[in-house]
Amino acid sequence: MTTPTEPTVHDAVERSRFEIHVGGGLTGFAQYRMADPGLIVFVHTEIDDAFEGRGLGSILIRAALDSARGRALAVRPDCPFVRGYIARHSEYLDLVPADLRPQVGL
């Protein structure tokens, strides 16, 4: 009996996105662009339909936000999924500059 491979997330800088892989295959990504110095803008998140409902989107966004924090980047969550994740996980709200929060609905 085989067990599923744990998901892994990495920053594919050359494609401007965080990618999540399961079993060696790409299962989703969070696209971003670098804006003002020190600001990462998340613009789109996508998880392969075959992998929906497994919590991979949350694993992906948590890793991306942890990476932003570790790199001392502010976050602008233009992507609805990222914005919703931050709204549900207040420990990441400090990554969004206070003056941007009303603009993005946080």
Examine the pLDDT at 2 and tell me if it is beyond 80. Answer: no
Mean pLDDT of the region 13-17: 97
Q: List strands edge to edge, sheet with 74-77.
A: 8-12, 17-22, 25-34, 39-47, 74-77
pLDDT in tens, 40-89: 999 999 999 999 899 999 999 999 999 999 999 999 999 999 999 999 99
- Which residue is associated with the tokens 């497994």? 54
Domains along the chain? 8-97 (3.40.630.30)
Query: pTM, whole model, 2 decimals?
Result: 0.92
Q: Are 77 and 87 in contact (CB under 8 A)?
A: no
Note the pLDDT of residue 58: 97
